[in-house]
Structure 1
Amino acid sequence: MRRLWLTTSAAVVLLGGCGVGAQDEPHAVELPRHALTSPGAGPAEQVGEVAQVLCLVRDDKLVQTVRRTLSYPTPQAQLDSLTAGPNEAERAAGLTTVLSGAALIARGMSGAGLTVEVPDTNEGNGRNDDILAYGQIVCTLTARPDVGEVVFTRDGQRLEVPRGDSTLTNAPLRSSDYAGLVLPG
């Protein structure tokens, strides 16, 4: 009986002594801010609050890098940032892109899938970095919380594009299709 009394007394002291007074009614709680990668969360409170993930290239491997922006970019804005290439700090870290100047167009969302229109390229130009190019696009766009897969088209027709293992597919692609090419952060 004494043991029960001691245990109950200790529990009352511990729970009652946590420093939070009892309240009869609920009250509003101010959360610190929205998630860094939440689209549509409204204007950022200060510059650099939103994380924009871009997948760049180093030594024939994909590397995810984060840029801080004022607001969450649209898929098209993110593609434009990707094709513009690395900024000064990213170049200093040895990052490049195989997409310089490409005119990629985010055509639209269907559920968690995004269609990207790829321009007609100069066939037979000797490029052997197509896998990295498609990997950059897929890994960048699927880092967004609203995009789970990417389909590529040209003139409205689905393209067969290479996965990370060099196999061709016209199926929707996910970041896992290029996982073997991504360097650890």
Structure 2
Amino acid sequence: MRRLTVWCLVALTALAGCGVPEQTAPEPLAVEAPEPAPATEPTVDDGAVRLWFVRGRQLEAVSRPVGPADVHATLDLLAAGLTPDEVAAGLRTALAPQTLRHTGPTPDDPVVTLAVTREFTGLVGANQQLAVAQIVWTVTEFPGVEEVRFSVDGRPLEVPTDDGLTDQPVDRDDYGSVAPR
């Protein structure tokens, strides 16, 4: 047993001498930063988004906190409607509560395609134009989103613009008549 103890002490002493020598000056290390992963959808940095609601016949922006601040979460907030304070302030929405599903944009295509429900197609006249404008103005707040295309059951949906009906992607310029003043 004594021999084992001696061998252990000798081994520990030998190992203690096998260390990294002390440097007199720091040496910089070359470490490459990893490439950032591409975002799957655009986000807003400050954790707040602008939602567009209606006052009279014009759009008006409301800022809301959200995390993550991306198109999906923002559409959920818009579809959920107004807070009691916003209603008390005289705002309204032309959108009925519903789930709004989207695809896009991509780096090659700055269009968000929004799949709406049959209930959305039941909106008529000025309310349908205001509902479309609310969505378009809200979604195009995000960098990289230029236009919105609407679809129902996988087919393009004609939506009203200031110039009539279209099944093509629309942008803010298509809703100048309801734009904020």
| Letter aligned with residue 90 of structure 1 | E
Distance 1:104 1:123, change over 3 A: closer
Distance 2:44 2:124 in 1: 41
TM-score where L is the length of structure 1? 0.66
* Aligned residue-pair number: 138
Alignment partner of 1:139 out of 132, 137, 150: 137
Give me the whole-angstrom Cα distance separating, in 1, the residues matched to 2:146 and 2:120.
29
How many angstroms apart in 1 are the aligned matches of 2:43 and 2:122?
A: 40
Q: Give the counterpart of 1:95 among 84, 91, 98.
A: 91
Contact 1:162 1:169 in 2 (8 A): yes
Among 30, 47, 65, the residue aligned to 1:68: 65
Task: Report SS of the residue matched to 2:137.
Answer: helix
Letter in 1 for 2:80: A
State the TM-score, normalizing by the size of structure 2: 0.67
The partner residue of 1:39 within 40, 43, 62 is 43
Match of 1:105 among 101, 104, 107: 101
Larger helix proportion of the pair: 2
Q: Which runs of 4+ in 1 moved over 2 A?
A: 38-41, 71-74, 107-111, 121-128
Shift of 1:95: 0.9
Structure 2: tracts of 5 or more residues without a match = 1-41
Tell me the equivalent position of 1:44: none
**The residue matched to 1:66 in structure 2 has which SS?**
strand
Q: Which of these residues, 107, 112, 115, is aligned with residue 114 of structure 1? A: 112
Query: 1:83, 1:97 within 8 Å by CA — same for their partners in 2?
Result: no
> Given that residues 44 and 69 in structure 2 are in contact (C-alpha distance below 8 angstroms), is that contact kept between their aligned partners in structure 1?
no
1:82 has 2:78 as partner = yes
Q: Deviations over 1:41-72 (max 9, x none)?
A: 5xxxxxxx433010101112211221233x34
Q: State the Cα RMSD in Å.
A: 2.3
Residues 152 and 66 of structure 1: CA distance in aligned 2, closer, same or farther (over 3 Å): same
Q: 1:141 to 1:123 in 2, by over 3 A?
A: closer
Alpha-carbon separation, structure 2, partners of 1:122 and 1:173: 17
Note closer, same or farther for the CA distance 1:159–1:122 as it changes in structure 2 (3 Å cut). closer
- Aligned pairs for 1:121-160 within 5 A: 121=119, 128-160=126-158
2:177: which partner in 1?
A: 180
Mark the structure with the bigger radius of gyration: 2
User: Which amino acid in 2 is paired with 1:85?
Assistant: G
